[in-house]
């Protein structure tokens, strides 16, 4: 297991990586459905922290494998088997999501995490043994991940025995998250891994598409719920159509920047770029839950108020736009999306739900979708003007 070259030509995601992503479809679908149920029941704020905690576990497991694979994907038999062990852990984690979100029962989800960590630590130990130049880095990763996992097991034991009070559970969770995030930075001080910038950019793009697909699935659940009520109303059609336009717009905005070249030139910004995607990915998952409830309420009554449903859609989109602008700025010389335009759009989107009790959820979602489309139009127009201004033949029609 030798590290792969940074400048390897035509590096792309492998079939095994795509299969690995498929297991996360299950986990994200479960956590999104649980969050949507909480929003519809009128206690979305109560469910927000458990949603973010469980989603961190999902995202961090995906992150750990993705960056390791970018450096050490040998695609031999041991590598494949250990990756499949991690997939099994993801499915166990997904099975434990309802208990974790609904009843704060972390037993199954911690077991799933333990299974994943056994596979990942074994991979790092193998890399440390077979790649002498990066031995210290591999051992540091194995030790750091192992220590963090001991912390999660200890937290579970303290919660199950009642030693850890409810008021201390969240602070301890945050401390363990900080430890997890610090492991890569500490491990790579020994020697940086040879992750491939274009491969990493592609992997993040693919996971973005997975989460957009989850939003489609969540919205379709809302459509199913509305259809079961036996009513096809105007608001139903508006919300369903606007939700689809929203997903198209968010996809378009994400892929305005091809991050591979930027990461190649600015490898030192990879930590903030990679970690910033937690908020982007969580926002997309939360948006799926919000759209599900928005579609569902157009067919029958739900406990959540129009204001709450409007914010269940608006806040994830606002967070997505703000963080997307920030992470894209890290890997480009000039921002593709105008920061001023982003601030204006986010402000308008966050204020719109205040009118939902009077104009209705459908109109609010439609207006939010229109704002996102307008942001794309302004960005394209600005780029076209800049291109024309830089052309040596601005009036001749020459290319």
Confidence of residue 384 (pLDDT cuts 50, 70, 90): confident
Q: Percent of the chain beyond pLDDT 90?
A: 56
Cβ(263)–Cβ(308) below 8 Å: no
Identify the pLDDT of residue 222: 66
pLDDT of 387 > 80? The answer is: no
pLDDT of residue 230: 60
Q: How many CB atoms lie within 10 A of CB 8?
A: 11
pLDDT at 281: 96
Give the residue from 54, 50, 53, 45 showing the smallest Cα distance to 312: 45
Decide if pLDDT at 339 tops 50: yes
* Alpha-carbon gap, residue 281 to 251, rounded angstroms: 12
pTM above 0.85, yes or no: yes
**What's the pLDDT band for 397 if we cut at 50, 70, 90?**
very low
Look at residue 10 in the predicted model and tell me its pLDDT.
Answer: 82
pLDDT tens-place string over residues 299-315: 677 888 999 999 999 99
Task: Identify the pLDDT of residue 162.
Answer: 81
Q: In this structure, are residues 266 and 339 in contact, taking their beta carbons and an 8 Å threshold? A: no
Residues contacting 162, CB < 8 A, separation 6+: none
Greater pLDDT, 299 or 392: 299
Per-residue pLDDT, 395:
44
What are the helix (H) ranges across the chain? 15-40, 44-72, 77-103, 107-130, 135-160, 166-187, 197-228, 234-254, 259-265, 270-297, 306-329, 339-351, 356-359, 361-390
Domains and CATH numbers, the chain: 10-193 (no CATH), 196-388 (1.20.1410)
CA–CA separation, 11 and 199 (whole Å): 6
pLDDT for residue 390: 63
**181-196 pLDDT, tens per residue?**
999 999 999 899 999 9
Residue with tokens 């010389």: 333
Mean pLDDT on 294-298: 82
**Residue 396 pLDDT:** 39
Check whether 394 has a pLDDT greater than 60. no
Q: Which residues contact 178 (CB under 8 A, 6 or more apart)?
A: none
- 125, 171 in Cβ contact below 8 A? no
Running DSSP on this structure, what letter comes out for residue 3? P
- Summarize pLDDT for 282-293 with one digit per residue, the tens: 999 999 999 988
342 neighbors 321 (Cβ within 8 angstroms): yes
Average pLDDT of the chain to the nearest whole number: 88
- In sequence order, the 6+-apart residues with CB closer than 8 A to the CB of 348 are 371
Query: How high is the pLDDT of residue 232?
Result: 65
- Rounded to an integer, what distance in angstroms lies between the CA atom of residue 272 and that of residue 279? 12
SS3 assignment, position 132:
helix
Q: What is the pLDDT of residues 343-379, one digit of tens each?
A: 999 999 999 999 988 998 989 999 999 999 999 999 9
Local confidence band at 399 (pLDDT 50, 70, 90 cut-offs) = very low
Identify the pLDDT of residue 393. 43
Q: What is the structure's pLDDT at 290? A: 92
CA proximity to 253, closest of 221, 287, 295, 292: 287
Distance CA 337, CA 43 (A): 35
- Average pLDDT for 106-121: 91
Please give the average per-residue pLDDT across 27-53, as a whole number.
89
């Amino acid at each position: 297991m030798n590290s792969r070259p940074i400048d390897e030509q035509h590096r792309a995601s492998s079939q095994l990586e795509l299969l690995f992503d498929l297991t996360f479809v299950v986990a994200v679908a479960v956590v999104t459905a649980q969050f949507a149920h909480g929003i519809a029941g009128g206690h979305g704020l109560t469910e927000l922290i458990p949603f973010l905690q469980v989603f961190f576990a999902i995202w961090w497991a995906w992150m750990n494998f993705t960056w390791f694979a970018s450096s050490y994907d040998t695609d031999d038999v041991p590598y494949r088997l250990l990756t499949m062990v991690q997939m099994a852990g993801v499915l166990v984690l997904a099975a434990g999501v309802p208990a974790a979100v609904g009843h704060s029962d972390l037993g199954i989800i911690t077991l799933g995490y333990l299974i994943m960590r056994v596979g990942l630590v074994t991979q790092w130990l193998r890399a440390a043994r077979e790649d002498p130049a990066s031995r210290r880095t591999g051992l540091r990763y194995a030790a750091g991940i192992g220590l963090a996992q001991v912390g999660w097991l200890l937290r579970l034991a303290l919660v199950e025995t009642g030693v850890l009070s409810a008021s201390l559970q969240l602070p301890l969770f945050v401390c363990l998250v900080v430890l997890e995030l610090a492991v890569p930075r500490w491990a790579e001080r020994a020697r940086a891994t040879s992750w491939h910038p274009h491969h990493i950019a592609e992997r993040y793009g693919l996971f973005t598409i997975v989460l957009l697909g989850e939003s489609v699935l969540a919205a379709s659940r809302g459509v199913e719920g509305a259809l079961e009520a036996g009513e096809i109303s105007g608001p139903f059609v508006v919300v369903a159509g606007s939700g689809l336009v929203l997903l198209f717009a968010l996809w378009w905005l994400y892929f305005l920047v091809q991050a591979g070249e930027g990461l190649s030139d600015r490898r030192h910004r990879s930590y903030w770029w990679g970690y910033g995607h937690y908020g982007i990915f969580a926002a997309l998952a939360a948006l799926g839950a919000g759209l599900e409830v928005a579609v569902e309420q157009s067919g029958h009554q739900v406990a959540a108020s129009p204001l709450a449903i409007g914010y269940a859609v608006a806040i994830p989109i606002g967070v997505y736009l703000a963080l997307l602008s920030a992470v894209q700025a890290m890997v480009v010389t000039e921002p593709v999306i105008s920061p001023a335009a982003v601030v204006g759009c986010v402000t308008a989107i966050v204020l719109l739900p205040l009118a939902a009790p009077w104009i209705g959820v459908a109109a609010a979602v439609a207006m939010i979708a229109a704002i996102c489309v307008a942001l794309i139009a302004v960005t394209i127009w600005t780029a076209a003007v800049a291109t024309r201004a830089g052309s040596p033949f601005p009036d001749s029609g020459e290319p």
